[in-house]
């Protein structure tokens, strides 16, 4: 469109790759400095992660002779060792299913609340919502001790429920807040039309409104999956049984005990913890960053 009105823009638009880069540098020489800083910081960001990956593929003597570079020969035996002789696969499995159950739980409980607070009018809704929102302000540390005693009283310590239940409860304020905003933005005519056709409020929620919140749901899924996967403090406190340990706690305790000084093996464990998160991040970057931005700027 603009090409017709502004022919100069067309020209600059058609430059691609290196040519465009040189063109932009000629127009604004300061860009060289900008690139230098950004590339410099990118190296700082990425190199430690790559270093960890390289380290996991090196042999033990190589750690001393070749600390910085690529592995001389790519040794996969650490991965074989970690995945076949240790409990790491079990930890991964635990983390995966506990994270998934948490995500599903958060959604199942926060969707109806988000809908009610966002679309329905009822007495006390503002007060109840504010009480819920106060949860975002309560630091995790404040709930830890009574929650621990509560779990003990219910005899839930060392059971996966001791992790899942508090994770879900802690996730509700922010999830409800995000969904409420989303439900509010949907036109109420949608609901009215469905009601005229004879739908109940529940049907309106489930069949009309819910499918429209898919973007918010995908943001929440990724956000909470990663959060649960990375959680450490609570998982460490309530879970002492090896078979239910999550990957963060499992890696931390087992490496503290045995592999502290075996860098390639330790790095292998770290790569295994990190790989799923990085893959999910690379695929769903947009949703993840949107969720964070919403959390920081609106929550």
Partner 1 sequence: MEKKPRIIKQPTRIQVFWRKTVPYQFIILPLAFYFTFFFLPALQSFYLGLFNYDGYSPMKTFVGLDNFRKIIFEDRLFTRAITNNIYWTIGSLVLPLTIGLLLATLFNTKGLFGRGFFRTAIFMPYVLSMIVVAMLWSEIYNPQNGIINRLIEIVTGNASHIAFLGDTHTALISVLLAATWSAVGFYMVIFYAGLQTIPEELYECASLEGANGIQSFFYITLPMLKEVLTVMIVITVIGSFKVFDIIYTMTHGGPLNATEVTATRMIAEAFSYSRFGYAAAYSTLIFLIIAVFSAIYLWLNRRQVGE
User: Site residues for partner 1, window 98-157 (CB under 8 A)?
Assistant: 109-110, 112-113, 115-117, 120-122, 125, 128, 131-135, 137-150
Alpha carbons 271 and 76: distance in angstroms, whole number = 12
Nearest to 95 by CA among 253, 232, 221: 232
Q: How many CB atoms lie within 10 A of CB 70?
A: 11
Closest to 259 in 3D by CA, of 134, 88, 127: 88
Q: Is 67 in the site for partner 1 (CB under 8 A)?
A: yes
| Residue 122, both tokens | 């009822």
Please say which residue, 10 or 38, places its beta carbon nearer to partner 1: 38
Nearer Cβ to partner 1 (95/244): 95
Of 232, 234, 245, which is closest to residue 91 (Cα–Cα)? 245
Binder to partner 1 among 46, 70, 80, 243 (CB under 8 A)?
46
Among positions 146-205, residues that touch partner 1 (CB under 8 A) are 146-150, 165-166, 168-170, 172-173, 176, 191-192, 195, 201-202, 205
Contact 244, 94 (CB under 8 A): yes
Residue 118 or 244: which CB sits closer to partner 1? 118
Query: Interface with partner 1 by CB under 8 A: which range of 2-10, 59-67, 80-88, 210-218?
Result: 59-67
Interface residues for partner 1 in 260-289 (CB under 8 A)? 263, 266-267, 270, 273-274, 277-278, 281-282, 285, 288-289
Total binding residues toward partner 1, as defined by CB under 8 A: 98
Choose one: 77-85, 86-94, 210-218, 290-298; the region binding partner 1 (CB under 8 A): 290-298
Counting contacts by CB under 8 A, is residue 24 touching partner 1? yes
Candidates 70-78, 79-87, 209-217, 230-238; binding stretch for partner 1 (CB under 8 A) = 230-238
Q: Is 221 in the site for partner 1 (CB under 8 A)?
A: no
Q: Which of 222, 230, 200, 212 is nearest to 111 (CA)?
A: 212
* Helix locations, the chain, DSSP H: 2-5, 7-14, 17-27, 30-56, 62-65, 77-85, 88-119, 125-137, 140-153, 161-185, 188-196, 201-203, 214-230, 233-238, 247-254, 263-297
């Amino acid at each position: 469109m603009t090409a017709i009105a502004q022919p100069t823009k067309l020209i600059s638009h058609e430059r691609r790759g290196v040519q465009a880069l040189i063109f932009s540098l000629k127009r604004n020489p300061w860009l060289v400095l900008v690139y230098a800083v950004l590339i410099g910081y990118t190296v700082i960001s990425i190199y430690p992660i790559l270093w960890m990956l390289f380290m996991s593929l090196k042999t033990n003597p190589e750690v001393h002779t070749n600390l910085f570079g690529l592995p001389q020969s790519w040794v996969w035996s650490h991965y074989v060792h970690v995945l076949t002789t240790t409990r790491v696969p079990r930890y991964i499995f635990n983390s995966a299913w506990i994270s998934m159950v948490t995500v599903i739980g958060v959604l199942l409980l926060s969707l109806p609340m988000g809908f009610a607070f966002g679309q329905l009018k009822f007495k006390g809704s503002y007060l109840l919502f504010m009480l819920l929102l106060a949860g975002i302000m309560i630091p995790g540390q404040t709930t830890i001790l009574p929650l621990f005693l509560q779990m003990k009283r219910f005899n839930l310590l060392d059971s996966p429920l001791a992790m899942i239940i508090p994770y879900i409860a802690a996730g509700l304020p922010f999830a409800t807040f995000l969904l409420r905003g989303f439900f509010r933005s949907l036109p109420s005519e949608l609901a009215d039309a469905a009601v005229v056709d004879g739908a109940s409020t529940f049907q309106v929620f489930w069949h009309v409104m819910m499918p429209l919140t898919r973007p918010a749901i995908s943001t929440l899924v990724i956000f909470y999956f990663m959060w649960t996967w990375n959680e450490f403090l609570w998982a460490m406190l309530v879970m002492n049984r090896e078979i239910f340990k999550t990957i963060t706690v499992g890696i931390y305790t087992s490496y503290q005990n045995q592999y502290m000084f075996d860098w390639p093996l330790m790095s292998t464990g770290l790569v295994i913890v990190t790989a799923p998160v990085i893959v999910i991040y690379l695929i769903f970057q947009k949703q993840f960053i949107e969720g964070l931005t919403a959390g920081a700027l609106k929550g």
